[in-house]
């Protein structure tokens, strides 16, 4: 049996961070020089009403520090939330890689993960329609390994040279800095409509994947093909996957917009509160392995980051699990100052020649030099490896390490030759000896030119509801585009993916589909023959892939789901207590929402604390709604102007709704439910006088899209 390691690696990073955590309890307030402060209320002035004196070093130190508190936000992925935890290997990868943390099942490696939106500023809403960053720093015994991915398995562009163009197009427009955290504007769609390689990621962006229910309920992907290298220097290609244990779930667009108003920190709060309430966020870690000999066996190019490897072709092998179970102590010190980099690898993990990845390998350190103010940001506690660091790098802004001795070069005899290089057998990193024999060129490989087959595969793999949401998203986004020529170009491009999709989007925009330009790809060099950059037509026989639809995800748990219980004075004790206990037993978080704050007096005279009033809560912040019995309670709620909207939104957003006894009267505010009178609609997630068990099952379904189907037909 293989040896199981203890928790000590994880503890090591925690200890490391603890060393830098200041405990103020029982301590005197001091200046940054350690001088005890006697008066932190008044500046030093000449007399009662006189001028402030320049001599006041405490005032100057405090204000100066404050004046310099802000650092530049990330140029992309500025808005993010992070958490600590650990990665535990469940299956050995020795056959493929020599990376030490991937050898022995049971090995735990401390991690810090940061999830982000891409386009918005640091203070923008969590629920923007956007790709989500999914970055994980593994503090391994052999140094830090960063897996810097997204929640979508592909990217917009194929070459890093186009990244500044893509980001300029999606960020607020330069003349008026609008709109914030939104792709729904002319410049984004202008760029997209002229660059067909973006279409695959655009399809994902228009799907509900771009508006996750929770950061804990989204997938993560390394996107690029990387290499594993084993101890015999044999290499395989690998793509990385994170699969959320709670399943992949999203909200709908109307809900996302309302959440942005009600709680712009919705995802940050969800992650923080779940961990705080003892619900760690968990993902299974999977790999898709492709032998070197199979590099060219697919219809797409493994080096093309706009293509995924369908799981039907190469299954995802689950080899570990990540658990995030500790919130940062200080947002700035940890979440803001963390610096990820796809080039932070360990022996046994190497790069492919994906041209997007190759450009990224330059970009991250470069940007962090300015964002974090100099070359020593690896010394910030959150970025420090647990593996010891020894080299001859010296000095620079904010150097923390005190390197003793005379020697800061290699080779040296003044320091007895230390630090010395490590042999491969001792963990020294050796780049994979890939043979390269080629001309130096600027060109796009012909094997990258199929821009439509996989977007078509994605679209065809979606459920009816998911397809409808994609159509609606295109209509919304292009509806915000002012220039008709851009809209027109976009619907023409969509015909290359799916004619009915293009027709439905065009109908919503009041457009007629025109023949696409002969050359739809405007992304070609000045001297190139444009035809050689023309997209290949979509493969009409491309099969569907079940893994691409969220309909096929995990739907057997209500762990950490938020359930609103609408109740007021006079609520029936039994129906409140039974349901609350049943939901909490399944790991859900219940909140009592009422007409005001304070306590409710139940029918039996018990006092129950109210969590939220209808003024501060909205049903978009919950996964399901329950209305317990009690005539007095229901009539007080019915009289409140916000109750009807609360229930109507929960219905409109297809959430599970349950009511007991008189509670059902509150549901009659929804026209569709009033029409049906007392009708049970269990198949639609409307449960009247049903058991808590049925409600639990309904919430686990996440949504009842069948309600939308009815609307769509109308």
Provide the binding-site residues for ligand HEM, judged by CB under 6 A. Answer: 74-77, 80, 114, 116, 133, 135, 148-150, 155, 160, 163, 223-224, 305, 338-340, 356, 359-360, 363-364, 367-368, 371
501: Cβ–Cβ under 8 A, 6 or more apart, which residues?
Answer: 459, 467, 470, 471, 474, 494
Q: Which residue matches tokens 């209808």? A: 614
CA–CA dist 474, 189 (Å, integer): 10
Q: Please state the closest distance from residue 455 (CB atom) to ligand HEM, in A.
A: 17
Cα 476 to Cα 470: distance, rounded to the nearest angstrom? 10
- We find the least distance from the C-beta atom of residue 375 to ligand HEM, in angstroms, to be 14
| Contact predicate 244/288, CB 8 Å | no
Task: Report the alpha-carbon distance of residue 327 to residue 339 in Å, rounded.
Answer: 18
Task: Give the nearest residue (CB) to ligand HEM.
Answer: 133
Burial class (CB in 10 A: 0-12, 13-18, 19+), 612: middle
**CB atoms near residue 433 (< 10 Å):** 8
Structure tokens at 359: 């450009």
| DSSP states of 202-234 | HHHHHSGGGSBS-GGGS-EE--S-EEEE-TT--
Residue 150 falls in the annotated catalytic set: yes
Nearer to ligand HEM, 74 or 249 (CB): 74
Q: How far is the CB of 212 from ligand HEM (least distance, A)?
A: 14
Tell me whether residue 160 or residue 491 sits nearer to ligand HEM (CB atom): 160
CB atoms within 10 A of CB 44: 13
Nearer to ligand HEM (CB atom), residue 160 or residue 502: 160
CA distance 366 to 712: 49
Let me know: does 612 contact 591? Beta carbons within 8 Å: yes
Q: How near is the Cβ of 223 to ligand HEM at its closest, in Å?
A: 4
Residue nearer to ligand HEM on the CB measure, 106 or 164: 164
Cross-strand pairs, 517:
none
The smaller minimum CB distance to ligand HEM, of residues 76 and 634, is found at 76
**In the complex, least distance from residue 535 CB atom to ligand HEM, rounded to whole angstroms:** 20
Contact in structure between 303 and 354 (CB atoms under 8 Å): yes
Residues in the chain: 714
In which region does residue 30 sit, left (phi positive, over 0), alpha (psi from -120 to 50) or beta (all else)?
beta
The backbone region for 652, taken as left when phi is positive above 0, alpha when psi lies in -120 to 50, beta otherwise, is: alpha
C-beta of 79 vs 707, nearer to ligand HEM: 79
- Report, in angstroms and rounded to the nearest whole number, the Rg of the chain calculated over CA atoms: 28
Closest CA to 575 of 663, 660, 696: 660
Tell me how far, at minimum, the Cβ of 198 lies from ligand HEM, in Å: 12
Expressed in percent and rounded to 5, the helix, strand and coil fractions of the chain are 35, 15, 50
Residue located via tokens 């859900």: 588
Question: Please, which residue, 222 or 692, has the CB nearer to ligand HEM?
Answer: 222
The least distance separating ligand HEM from the CB of residue 93, rounded to whole angstroms, comes to 22
Secondary structure (3-state) at 307: coil
Q: How far is the CB of 149 from ligand HEM (least distance, A)?
A: 5
Of 76 and 478, the one with the shorter C-beta distance to ligand HEM is 76
Helices (H), 547-691: 573-585, 631-639, 643-652, 664-667, 671-675
Query: Residue 583: exposed, middle, or buried by beta-carbon count in 10 A (0-12, 13-18, 19+)?
Result: buried
For ligand HEM, give the closer residue by CB, 324 or 617. Answer: 324
Six token digits for residue 707: 């309600």
Residue 425 is classified by DSSP as G
**Least distance (Å) from ligand HEM to the CB of residue 315?**
22
Minimum distance from CB of 664 to ligand HEM (Å)?
Answer: 46
Which pairs with CB-CB distance under 8 Å and at least 24 residues apart come from 669-675? 669/638, 669/643, 669/644, 672/707, 672/710
Q: Going by DSSP bridges, is the β-strand pair 656-659/686-688 parallel, antiparallel, or unpaired?
A: parallel
Q: Residue 110's CB: how many other CB atoms inside 10 A?
A: 23
**What are phi and psi for residue 21, nearest 5 degrees?**
-90, 130
What residues contact residue 241 under an 8 Å CB cut-off, 6+ apart? 153, 219, 220, 221, 222, 285, 286, 287, 288, 316
Q: Determine the Cα–Cα distance for residues 65 and 549; give it in Å rounded to an integer.
A: 50
514 touches 469 (CB < 8 A): no
Residue nearer to ligand HEM on the CB measure, 132 or 561 = 132
Q: Select which of 24, 58, 68, 77 is catalytic.
A: 77
| 77 in active site | yes
**Minimum distance between the CB of residue 448 and ligand HEM, rounded to whole angstroms?**
14
Query: Quick one: 455 or 570, whose CB is closer to ligand HEM?
Result: 455
Instruction: Please state the closest distance from residue 75 (CB atom) to ligand HEM, in A.
Output: 5
For ligand HEM, the closer of residues 251 and 308 by Cβ is: 308
- Residue in 150, 151, 327, 376 annotated catalytic: 150
Among 699, 695, 639, CA closest to 666? 639
- Catalytically active residues, by annotation: 77, 150
């Amino acid at each position: 049996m293989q040896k199981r390691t203890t928790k000590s690696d994880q503890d090591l990073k925690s200890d490391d961070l603890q060393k830098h955590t200041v405990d103020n309890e029982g301590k005197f307030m001091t200046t940054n020089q350690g001088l005890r402060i006697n008066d932190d209320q008044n500046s030093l002035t000449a007399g009662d009403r006189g001028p402030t004196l320049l001599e006041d070093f405490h005032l100057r130190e405090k204000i100066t520090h404050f004046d310099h508190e802000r650092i530049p936000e990330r140029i992309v992925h500025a808005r993010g939330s992070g958490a600590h935890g650990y990665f535990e290997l469940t299956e050995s990868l020795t056959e493929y890689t020599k990376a030490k943390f991937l050898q022995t099942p049971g090995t735990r490696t401390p991690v810090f993960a940061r999830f982000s939106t891409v386009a918005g500023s640091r203070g923008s809403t969590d629920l923007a329609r956007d790709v989500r960053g999914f970055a994980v720093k593994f503090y391994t015994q052999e140094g830090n390994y960063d897996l810097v991915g997204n929640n979508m398995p592909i990217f917009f562009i194929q070459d890093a040279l186009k990244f500044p163009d893509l980001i300029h197009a999606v960020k607020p427009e330069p003349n008026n800095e609008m709109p914030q955290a939104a792709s729904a504007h002319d410049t984004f769609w202008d760029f997209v409509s002229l660059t067909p390689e973006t279409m695959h990621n655009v399809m994902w962006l228009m799907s509900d994947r771009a508006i996750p229910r929770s950061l804990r309920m989204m997938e993560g992907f390394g996107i690029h093909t990387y290499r594993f290298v084993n101890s015999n220097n044999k290499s395989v290609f690998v793509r990385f996957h994170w699969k959320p244990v709670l399943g992949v779930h999203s909200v709908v667009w109307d809900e996302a917009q309302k959440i942005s108003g009600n709680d712009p920190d919705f995802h940050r709060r969800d992650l923080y509160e779940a961990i705080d309430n003892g619900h760690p966020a968990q993902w299974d870690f999977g790999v898709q392995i492709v032998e070197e000999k199979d590099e060219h066996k697919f219809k797409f190019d493994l080096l093309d980051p706009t293509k995924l490897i369908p799981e039907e072709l190469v299954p995802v092998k689950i080899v570990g699990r990540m658990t995030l179970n500790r919130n940062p102590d200080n947002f700035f010190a940890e979440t803001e100052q963390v610096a990820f980099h796809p080039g932070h690898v360990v022996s046994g993990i190497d790069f492919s020649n994906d041209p997007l990845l190759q450009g990224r390998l330059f970009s991250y350190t470069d940007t962090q030099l300015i964002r974090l103010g100099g070359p020593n940001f690896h010394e910030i506690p959150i970025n420090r490896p647990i593996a010891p660091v020894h080299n001859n790098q010296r000095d620079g802004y904010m150097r923390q390490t005190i390197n003793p001795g005379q020697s800061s070069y290699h080779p040296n005899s003044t320091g007895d030759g230390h630090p010395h290089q490590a042999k491969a057998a001792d963990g020294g990193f050796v780049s994979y000896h890939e043979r390269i024999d080629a001309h130096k060129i600027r060109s796009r490989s012909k094997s990258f030119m199929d821009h439509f087959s996989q977007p078509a595969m994605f679209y065809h793999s979606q459920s009816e509801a998911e397809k409808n949401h994609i159509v609606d998203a295109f209509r919304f986004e292009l509806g915000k585009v002012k220039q008709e020529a851009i809209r027109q170009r976009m619907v023409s491009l969509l015909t290359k993916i799916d004619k009915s999709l293009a027709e439905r989007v065009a109908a919503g925009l009041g457009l007629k589909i025109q023949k696409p330009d002969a050359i739809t790809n405007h992304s070609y060099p000045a001297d190139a023959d444009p035809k050689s950059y023309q997209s290949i037509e979509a493969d009409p026989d491309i099969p569907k892939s079940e893994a691409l639809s969220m309909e096929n995800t995990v739907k057997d748990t209500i762990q950490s789901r938020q359930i609103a219980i609408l109740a007021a004075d006079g609520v029936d004790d039994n129906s409140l207590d039974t349901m609350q206990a049943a939901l909490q037993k399944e790991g859900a978080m219940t909140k009592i929402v009422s007409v005001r704050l304070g306590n409710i007096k139940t029918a039996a005279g018990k006092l129950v604390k109210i969590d939220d009033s209808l003024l501060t809560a909205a049903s978009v912040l919950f996964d399901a709604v329950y209305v317990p019995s009690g005539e007095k309670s229901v009539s007080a709620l019915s009289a409140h102007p916000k109750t009807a909207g609360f229930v109507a939104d929960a219905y409109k957003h297809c959430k599970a709704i349950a009511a007991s006894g008189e509670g059902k009267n509150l549901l009659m505010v929804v026209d569709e439910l009033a029409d049906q009178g007392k009708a049970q609609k269990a198949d639609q997630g409307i449960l009247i006088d049903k058991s808590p068990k049925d409600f639990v099952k309904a919430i686990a379904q996440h949504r009842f899209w069948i309600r939308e189907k009815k609307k769509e037909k109308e």
